């Protein structure tokens, strides 16, 4: 029995065998290892997407809280940016005192991100209630002010002379604001 194969048929079988071997080698050497890497990358991508969503939710929640607090405490934020003006302070609060004198503004040391100024004030009031009304008005003023103790009250005929020191807090970012206030 003689097998009669044409040359084209032999070329076709050998080319098909070569392609089959090439496809099998390509599959086992390239595709399968890359498929494992792909699965690992896909799992990593999913965990990163979950973390991204978690952080995005936290960011949105924090931003909403920030906006709410900024809206609620706008007066305080503006007060930290305000430059202290002794003349304006006297005009705003002169109705609480018979006389109010504020001495020169001097800069204290910076406390972290705030510039602190020390202001000495001497006033005359008719009753201690006027001083307490003044303290309530300071809480609603244009500046962040802290009154330091001791507060000295001395009786001077029908008036009470009070001496106290105030600390004025403002942002320390603008160093030129001190030069504007001292002039």
pLDDT at residue 33 greater than cutoff 70? yes
CATH of domain 83-182: 3.30.70.60
What predicted TM-score, i.e. pTM, was given to this entire model? 0.47
Would you list the domain boundaries of the chain? Answer: 1-72, 83-182
Contact in structure between 163 and 151 (CB atoms under 8 Å)? yes
Angstrom distance (rounded) from CA 139 to CA 63: 27
User: pLDDT tens for residues 59-94?
Assistant: 999 999 999 998 998 877 777 777 767 777 777 777
* Gap between the Cα atoms of 13 and 168, Å rounded: 95
Quote the pLDDT of residue 129: 75
């Amino acid at each position: 029995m003689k097998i009669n194969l044409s040359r084209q048929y032999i070329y076709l079988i050998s080319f098909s065998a070569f392609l089959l071997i090439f496809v099998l080698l390509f599959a086992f050497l390239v595709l399968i290892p890359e498929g494992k890497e792909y699965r690992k990358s896909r799992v990593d991508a999913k965990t990163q997407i979950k973390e991204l969503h978690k952080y995005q939710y936290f960011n949105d929640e924090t931003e909403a809280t920030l906006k709410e607090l900024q809206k609620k405490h706008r007066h305080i934020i503006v007060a930290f940016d305000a430059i202290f003006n002794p003349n304006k302070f006297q005009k705003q609060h002169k109705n609480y005192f018979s006389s109010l004198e504020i001495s020169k503004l001097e800069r204290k040391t910076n406390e972290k991100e705030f510039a602190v100024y020390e202001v000495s004030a001497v006033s005359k009031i008719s009753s201690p209630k006027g001083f307490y009304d003044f303290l309530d008005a300071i809480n609603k003023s244009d500046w962040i002010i802290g009154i330091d103790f001791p507060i000295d009250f001395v009786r001077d005929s029908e008036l009470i002379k009070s001496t106290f020191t105030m600390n004025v807090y403002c942002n320390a970012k603008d160093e030129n604001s001190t030069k504007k206030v001292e002039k």
